[in-house]
Structures are given as structure tokens and as C-alpha cells.
A and B are shown apart, each in its own frame.
Chain A
Amino acid sequence: MPPVAPQAKPDCPGFARPAALPPLKLDPRLISDPALGPVAAKLAAGQRLELADGLALMNSRDLLGLGSLAHAARLAKNGRRAFYVVNRHINYSNVCSNQCAFCAFWRQEGDAGAYLLSPAQAAELAAQEPGLPISELHIVGSCHPQVPLSYYLELLSALSQARPQAALKAFTPVEIDHLAHKSGLSPAQVLDLLQAAGLGAMPGGGAEVFSPRVRARLCPEKTSGSRWLAISGLAHARGIPTNATMLYGHIETPAERVEHLLALREQQDKSHGFSAFIPLAYHPHNTKLGGASHTSGLDDLRVIASARLLLDNFDHIKAYWVMLGPKLAQVALNFGADDLDGTIVEERITHEAGATTAKGLTEEALRSMISTAGFRPVRRDSFYNSLEQQ
């Protein structure tokens, strides 16, 4: 693979460095795991956490201790605000040459259920329910072996015509890399073309776990961790905010989780453009990797809390209700999360892997989840601007 050339435009807007965590006010009575003591001391002194601290967090069973540390960090970053977005997911295709072992969504060309939406069909979906004040289209598909770059440009312009008020949050770094590979352009050139066609932000999928050991088992065909980070950096240099994710709960070790989070933190130190971190709980059904169990409530909350504390240069941690279930996502607002994602309308990828949650939630339901948990609901756009009536 050619290296990802770091060619930021000289006149790009870039992003300001997000505020670091201030010294935290902690209640020592909430912490019962002695291993969390040194972590708490660092947080109280306003020091940055390191690998050993991350391991203490990621191995702890002290749910209330983890929660109390993360909640203090959350209050420092976001007060009692909890964000959501009125959005819609559009999965333009499931035909994928990567065929990752953890994924139940992909099909081969010609398989039953394989599909590719035309730009017009995607636009038709986006235009459904015109009364719904959708401010974001979340557009993720696959690494389709046949579709040319022109399709993606047409898709973006069709969607922006169908929903001119909605930001187009489209294509993970993995899809960008695939397009570059297919078209013979560099990832930077692909991003420039997509941005000109209306790309406003990027989702954070495809990060999985950066560890080469894990990727060799889970997704050997997929873009490497270092390329994923570099392409995110290229987007940031162009003023395109992106998200970051981690798929957890399969074969990864606690150390591999912490290393993943620290790699994200290092990239964010350089390029500042990650809006939110979104942990994704592995769903085993219908995948090649398989497995019997879903993640536990403790593990879900531990990952959220650890991420809030390690990612001191991320403004937002998202509790993605589709994967966690609305109940646990609501509880997660007290364990470091400040965002519930959104209405989604029609989730497909996790549901192929056995998610039993609804495929969408109403705005009313999201607001009620937030306020009954004791937080202030803030409807946001893709860039975390408040859309609340003042």
C-alpha cells in the first residue's frame, strides 16, 4: 500500500485544541478498588493518565469507583448536558470485499440480500418523513469491489439535494482508503473531491481495535490502524470533523483496549478533529467470529468510563443506544457518557448481528431518557452546536 501522504491544505481551517481535563474534585468514599487510588490521585492533580492507569481502569470491577471518576470528568467537560441528534442512517450497500469476521452485515456480490442503492434510491430514503427535522445523514456502507468514485460523489450530491438542511456525515476512513485504492488517487485527493461534493463530517467506524494481532484475526483485509489514524488526520486537516470508535468484547485484551485509546489520544493531540469517541459493543450473532455472549453491563460501563478518563482531549463520549440498549445507555450518562447518538430511524448493521433494540427512537423518547436520568437534553447538529430554542 502507498503511504498516506500528510498533505494538509495550507489554508485549511483545522481545529482548535480541545480543553484538557482540569484537576477533578473526587469523592474518595465512592472508590473501593485500591488499584484506582493512584489513578484518582493523578486525576485530582490534573495529570494525564498513562498505560498503567488505563489498565487499572480496564481491569477494575469497582463499578461505582469507575463511575465516580468518569462522572467527575464528564461534569468538568460537559456539565449536566446530554446531547442527541435527529439523524437518519443510510447504508448504501452491504457488498464488501473486506468480509470481516465480526460483521454480520456484509454480503458478496450475487448473494441473496446483497444490495447497492442507487443515488436516487438513497435520496428517496433520505427524503422520507419530510416533517422530521433531520440535521444529519449518517452514511456508511461497505468496500464495494465494483463501484467507481463517481458513484460516491453522485450519492453525496443526491443526498444533499434531498435533505439540504442535513449535514452529510459519510464514509469511514476505511471506505476512504478503499476509494483511494480503487481510483488510484491519494486519500487526500479523495477527501478533497468528496468534500467538494458535500461531505461535512465523517463517522468513526472501521477502527475496530488497532492491534495488528486483533486485526489479523478479525479483519485482515481492512485498512491498518496506522492508516485509519492517518486518514482521520487528513480529514481533520481539511476541517472535516470525524468520530472515533472501538469495537470491544471479542478477542481483545484489556491492554489492547488501552493502547487503542492512547493511539486515538495521540492522534487527537496532533489533529484535534475527533468530535466524539463511540465504544461499540460486539454483537456475535450471524458472524464468522461467533461467540455466545454479549458484553456485560459492567464491561460496557467500564469501557465508557475508561474512555472518558483516558481521552482527556476528546470533548464527547457517546453511549450508542443501539448497541448498549436504551437502558444501559441511559445509565451510562452517569458513567462518563454525554451523548446518546440519535433517532437513527432505521439501523441495519447491528441488527444483522442480533441486536434486539428498536431500529430507531423518537426524539421525545431520547429527551425523556435524558431528563429522567437527571441531565439536560441538548439537541445538537453534527458539529455539536446546540439546536435548542434559547
Chain B
Amino acid sequence: MSISSRTEENKLTISITGRFDFGVHKEFRSAIDSISSDTKHVSVDFRTTEYVDSSALGMLLMLKSKMGDRKDKISLINAKPEVKKILEIANFGQLFTLS
């Protein structure tokens, strides 16, 4: 499994291992399917993510759309410099909390 997710106290954490690209599209979709109206916060953990491409950015936008008006409750965390660079080029700091 390159994508794992767990929910604790209405907080969903999605961890991505290896390449975050179109190949994990289905897994990511099913991970965000668990978002409900009770979900208060989502963290996407990039600690073990090696690569992010534009379709991955698209998946993050799907996550944002799924959270609706709770979009400020999404954190992208632990990104390595090369992954962080991609998020910064896309200026995703305007849409998500980068930390």
C-alpha cells in the first residue's frame, strides 16, 4: 500500500509513500472517500513521499473540494525539500497550510 490513512478524533491523516502521481489515483480517492461532515481536519503526510507531479496536485484539489468550506483545515506536512518545491511553485500555500 503506498497510501495509508487513519482517522483519530475526527482528524484524518493520509500518508503517501513513494511516488504521488496518477498511479495512486484510486487509492487516494478511496482515502478521501472516508471524509464525512464530522471530519474536522485532514493532514496529508509527505514524510515518505519521494515525488509529486501535477496530477497529484490535482488530487489535492479534489481533497480541498471534498472538504468544502473547511478548506483551511487541510495541512500538508513533512514534505521533503524537492516535494515542497513543487508545492511552492504551484503556490499551494494559498490553498492549504504548508508545514
A and B physically associate: no
